[in-house]
């Protein structure tokens, strides 16, 4: 009998503080009109001073565990996708494990920037298929507000903080139908945080920098390519996608991807207007939103897509 992973529960969490485009107008030379027309973003959530990625992950995980009917003690693996970990080490996954009270199951982080959740979910699915795991918690959690240059209007208006989580259960029917991951490190320079800890000091510049136009073009190209790859692998037609959940960076990237796939925007889940770009958290946040408001139902086909720094990109075709 084959072993598959099934998404048994989803959850998410957004910090209480909301920062609107109007609020940003007072901080940098920008306008609500510019931000909304170029990106589709109206607002983003910002973590409180003592709130770390593991705290956002904890709340999202509790919601996902509750939805799946799984207790922390029943988890056999925890994977956290984050680019903004609580500290250099231990991993945010280990810190989360302690906060959840899920003793001794393995826990580790995955670092693939805005593709992080897609990478982590793929990793979890492969672990599940090994037959050694029963319930796996996969989280995307980010506090990008900590790595932004708040004086750089070309980047600070684009990102937000948040977390999303899913619980995978072992199943004898799929679930996750296929996953497709890619990376091309030769494009590292177009989106990076080029800093590190060295000799007790920060070396380099530990703030996000991006060539927006280059990232935009790259994202539109690879999101279409990897969607076609996922469709071909499952011998599916575009019309068989019930829901597209792409990384939420810019509504224009999302619209361009939907157009290339002949999908009406009514089949695309978008949260970028309220959450902005939450990197590894964006896909599970959008997934949880559409599961909880009743749009995504059991048996439907959902295509999850990530793209981000590295460069990394990937997709999963999921039967809910
Ligand atoms: O998760 C993956 C990471 N991120 C992304 O996927 C983002 C990808 N890129 C984008 O979303 C878009 O390229 C941006 C939203 C970043 C920029 O949009 P754009 O339409 O490519 O604008 P642009 O960079 O060509 O800038 C147009 C103008 C520039 O002024 P000049 O040179 O034409 O005088 C910018 O200086 O807009 C200016 N500008 C701003 N004006 C007001 C840039 N940022 C702002 C701002 N407010 N916040």
pLDDT grade, residue 179 (50/70/90)?
very high
Q: Tell me, what's the pLDDT at 290?
A: 98
Euclidean distance between the first and final Cα of the chain, in Å? Answer: 20
Q: What average pLDDT does range 109-135 have in this prediction? A: 98
Mean pLDDT of the chain: 97
The full set of domains in the chain, from first to last, is: 4-173 (3.40.47.10), 177-319 (3.40.47.10)
List the residue whose alpha carbon is closest to atom 29 of ligand 1: 154
Atom of ligand 1 nearest to the CA of 247: 1
Is residue 232 a contact partner of residue 262, using CB atoms and an 8 Å limit? no
Per residue in 204-222, pLDDT (tens digit) is: 999 999 999 999 999 999 9
Q: How far is CA 105 from CA 53, 72, 75, 94, 207, in A?
A: 20, 10, 7, 10, 34
Q: What average pLDDT does range 232-239 have in this prediction? A: 97
Q: Report which DSSP code applies to 141.
A: E
Helices 53-68 and 92-100, interaxial angle, to 10°?
50
Residue 105 is among the residues annotated as catalytic for this protein = no
Is residue 315 a contact partner of residue 303, using CB atoms and an 8 Å limit? yes
Q: What average pLDDT does range 289-304 have in this prediction? A: 98
CA-to-CA distance for 147 and 272, rounded, in angstroms? 19
Residue 277 is among the residues annotated as catalytic for this protein = yes
Per residue in 27-73, pLDDT (tens digit) is: 999 999 999 999 999 999 999 999 999 999 999 999 999 999 999 99
- CB of 255 shorter than 6 A to ligand 1: no
Question: With the CA atoms of 166, 246, 149 and 55 taken in that order, what torsion angle do they form, in degrees rounded to the nearest 10?
Answer: -10
Ligand 1, from 212, 220, 271: best to mutate by most atoms within 8 Å of Cβ?
212
Q: Tell me, what's the pLDDT at 212?
A: 96
pLDDT grade, residue 1 (50/70/90)?
confident
Q: What average pLDDT does range 261-288 have in this prediction? A: 98
List the residue whose alpha carbon is closest to atom 6 of ligand 1: 249
What does the buried/exposed string (b/e) look like for 72-90 if buried means 16 or more CB atoms within 10 Å of the residue's CB? Answer: bebbbbbbbbbbbbbeeeb
Q: Tell me, what's the pLDDT at 4?
A: 97
**β-strand pairing of 4-13 with 161-171:** antiparallel
Annotated catalytic residue within 94, 105, 114, 156: 114
Q: Residue 74: enclosing H or E segment and its boundaries?
A: none
pLDDT grade, residue 103 (50/70/90)?
confident
The answer on pLDDT for 259 being more than 90 is yes
CA-to-CA distance for 311 and 227, rounded, in angstroms? 17
Per residue in 144-165, pLDDT (tens digit) is: 999 999 999 999 999 999 999 9
Token pair recorded at residue 107: 């826990």
The answer on pLDDT for 177 being more than 90 is yes
């Amino acid at each position: 009998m084959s072993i598959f992973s099934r998404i048994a529960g989803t959850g998410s969490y957004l910090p209480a503080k909301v920062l609107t485009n109007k609020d940003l107008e007072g901080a940098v030379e920008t306008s609500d009109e510019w931000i909304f027309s170029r990106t589709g973003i109206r607002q983003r959530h910002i973590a409180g001073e003592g709130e770390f990625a593991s705290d956002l992950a904890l709340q999202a995980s509790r919601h996902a565990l509750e939805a799946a009917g799984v207790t922390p003690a029943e988890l056999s693996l925890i994977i956290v996708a984050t680019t903004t970990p609580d500290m250099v080490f231990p991993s945010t996954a280990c810190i989360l494990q302690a906060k959840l009270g899920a003793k001794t199951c393995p826990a580790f982080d995955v670092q693939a920037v805005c593709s992080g959740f897609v990478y982590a979910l793929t990793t979890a699915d492969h672990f599940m298929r090994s037959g050694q795991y029963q319930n796996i918690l996969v989280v995307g959690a980010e506090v990008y507000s900590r790595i932004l240059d708040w004086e750089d209007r070309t980047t600070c208006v684009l990102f937000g903080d948040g977390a999303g989580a899913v619980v995978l259960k072992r199943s004898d029917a799929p679930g996750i139908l296929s996953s497709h991951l890619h990376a091309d490190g030769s494009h590292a320079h177009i989106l990076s945080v080029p800093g590190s800890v060295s000799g007790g000091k920060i070396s380099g510049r530990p703030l996000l920098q991006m060539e927006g136009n280059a990232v935009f073009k790259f994202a539109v190209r690879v999101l279409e390519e990897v969607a076609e790859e996922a469709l071909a692998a499952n011998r599916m037609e575009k019309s068989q996608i019930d829901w597209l959940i792409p990384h939420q960076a810019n509504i224009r990237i999302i619209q361009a991807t939907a157009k290339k796939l002949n999908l009406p925007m009514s089949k695309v889940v978008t949260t970028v207007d309220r959450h902005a770009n939450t990197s590894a958290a964006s896909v599970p946040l959008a997934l949880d939103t559409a599961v909880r408001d009743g749009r995504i139902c059991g048996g439907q086909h959902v295509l999850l897509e990530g793209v981000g720094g590295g460069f990394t990109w990937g997709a999963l075709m999921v039967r809910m």
